[in-house]
A and B are shown apart, each in its own frame.
Chain A
Amino acid sequence: MNDMSQDTYVTDDGRTIGGVVMEMKNITLRFGGVVAIKDISFDIRQGEIRAIIGPNGAGKSSMLNVISGFYNPQEGDVFYKGKKRPPMRPYKVAQQGIARTFQNIALFEGMSVLDNVMTGRLHQSNAGILSQALWKGRAEREEVANREAVEKIIDFLEIQSIRKTPVGRLPYGLKKRVELARALAAEPSILLLDEPMAGMNVEEKEDMSRFILDVNDEFGTTIALIEHDMGVVMDLSDRVVVMDYGKKIGDGTPDEVRNNQDVIDAYLGVAHD
């Protein structure tokens, strides 16, 4: 990492963007003969909203899976908070403060909204199994403390009225919001959102965009997101990575990306007038 990357700067809307918190260096990921990601490097800075875009099959979700530890790349390194991260199981990555949502909602359908979000607080609970079995001491205190933290998030995302509803009964838009709540409950330092607005109508998209901006603004959470709605991406994000066929074809601010000829050819296209 060079010195430039540690500079902090203030965005037009007054948010402070810090130094690099996560850096991907020359990542290559193969499945047998298929190269899903080819020699990609980019970084994510503290407090920014970083978008990853590209056509279907470009390797965006694979990239997110590499960040969250679900896939281990054959080549290249992941640097997190300045340290090289060895290959590790996803739950260890989660413990380090990386939370995510999924493209196809991955909530625990049999549990209530409250229990789903409480599950996100796993790493804020250290009570042993005996304490939990007797519901005394640490387990009881932690349960109340976690509930308080979770209720704040429930308030924040405006899902108070459904907190005791089993997740299986909720409509799609709300499920997406519950999933965001579960990820936020972990108080992550990096939040990965895999197509948070897929399949939503305009109003739901507006709501979700507002929540993403608020999360970034109020909690200072660094966000990396994959999204197909260009309007949303260009409005929300500070910097954008563009992928195509596993390669990086563009990286920069929304304006830079929008005017990048490679990106236009591969993905954005031109308006016919």
Chain B
Amino acid sequence: MFYREAGDFKTSYASDNQTFPIKFDRYRYYAVMFVAFAIVPLIINDYWVSAIFLPFLIYSIAAIGLNILVGYCGQVSLGTGGFMAVGAYGCYKLMTGFPEVNILVHVLLSGGVTGLVCVLFGLPSLRIKGFYLAVATLAAQFFLVWLFNRIPWFYNYSASGQINAPERTFLGVAVTGPNTEAWASYLFCLVILTFCALVARNLTRGMQGRQWMAIRDMDIAAEIIGVNPLKAKVSAFAVSGFFVGIAGALLFAVYLGAAEAGDSFGITKSFLVLFMIIIGGLGSIFGSFAGAAFLVLLPVLLKNVLVGWLGWPTDMAAHLEFVIVGGLIVIFLIAEPHGLAQLWRVAKEKLRLWPFPH
């Protein structure tokens, strides 16, 4: 009744092709942006930022990046953790090497560096597919973590082997380091996420995205109708790496503040981000958000329910959390293999007609 297309006529191809062709969706999007940018920063506190918002924003960026590679271009990658480490260590080296340069530049540059590294490890994709490619990227994961642990230059020869984010300001406000206000780190990540999501959306709805999807759906046919497989795959690895690198840089610099390659960017990170896009929905930008939200919020929610309401001991709750989250993922994937994005699409289809049956 409220959510409908009737009367919403398109008079140009540009308007038919916009991200939110339905008016209601568009207004909802503006409303969400308004709340996220203008209202949330006023009311959030440290707990909300560190437990929910920062991980959600940062993992959303990583999930968007991985979704471009896996969901849109069909190239499986298990190296996300390693690539995030490249972003983190790249950002660290840049921050300490060029302290006078703006942190935003550092974050984007470390994304670029990660893009290059990702292309390097993506080159085998020209010859191998599927599980074999997954194994090749797994090698990247282990190699990169090993590299950052073993070569002291990467952590500036610090005794602990850790990297620590020094304080950096953006427009005069600290966004990294111990003196960061909650709202500042939140807004910084939100701006970058918004930028990443828009770029990803634009790339995936245009010619570039079609080339990626063509390679995903049938690579031989794609080549015969004129898609250069080398360019398509390499660009997917580059763009994916760019986003994942940004996520890694933010995770280290803004969220964790201190990191160590093996602990913070291990294989579990790769799986976490991969689960996010599988649960959220492969080949969907919205799915990246939904998956990140699901896997960030669910543990927090469970902890609050089990410890806060039921009063169970913390250690038991922590173990049960794994069991419940794992079980929910399995149940969820059986019920809806195409992820949260598909649920969302089905809901929208139903809403279009509601309250009429046809």
> Which residues in A have some Cβ–Cβ distance to B below 8 Å?
68-70, 89-91, 94-95, 99-100, 102, 106-111, 115, 118-123, 125, 127, 129, 132-135, 139-140, 142-144, 146-148, 151, 182-183, 186
Contacts and interface: CB of A to CB of B under 8 A. Distances in A.
A11 B17 CA distance: 43
B235 interface: yes
Nearest to A96: B226
A129 B210 contact: no
Contact of A140 (B14, B216, B225): B14
Contacts of B203: 129, 132-133
A228 to B, nearest CB: 22
B217 A95 contact: no
Given A133-B203, A134-B199, A90 B223 contact: yes
B317 interface: no
B211 interface: yes
Interface residues of B, number: 30
Interface of B: 12-14, 17, 199, 202-203, 206-208, 210-211, 213-214, 216-218, 220-229, 235, 239, 283
Nearest to B282: A110
19 contacts: A91-B224, A94-B224, A106-B218, A108-B214, A110-B217, A111-B214, A115-B210, A118-B207, A120-B225, A122-B226, A125-B207, A132-B203, A133-B199, A134-B202, A142-B207, A143-B14, A143-B207, A144-B17, A183-B225
A68 B221 CA distance: 11
A186 B214 CA distance: 15
A106 B221 contact: yes
Contacts of A148: 13
Nearest to B202: A135
Contacts of A125: 207
For B210, B224, B227, B239, which residue has the most chain A Cβ atoms within 10 angstroms?
B224
Contact of A89 (B207, B223, B283): B223
Interface of B (DSSP majority class): helix
A261 to B, nearest CB: 37
B4 to A, nearest CB: 16
Contact of A132 (B206, B218, B223, B224): B206
A68 B224 contact: yes
A183 B225 CA distance: 7
A143 B224 contact: no
Contacts of A132: 202-203, 206-208
Contacts of B213: 108, 110-111, 115
Contacts of B13: 143-144, 147-148, 151
A183 B226 CA distance: 10
For B221, B227, B228, which residue has the most chain A Cβ atoms within 10 angstroms?
B221
A144 B15 CA distance: 10
B227 A122 contact: yes
Contacts of B217: 107-111
B216 A110 contact: yes
The 9 A-B residue pairs whose C-beta atoms are closest, nearest first, are: A94-B226, A106-B221, A108-B217, A147-B13, A135-B202, A133-B199, A119-B210, A90-B224, A132-B206
A259 B137 CA distance: 61
Contacts of B218: 106-109
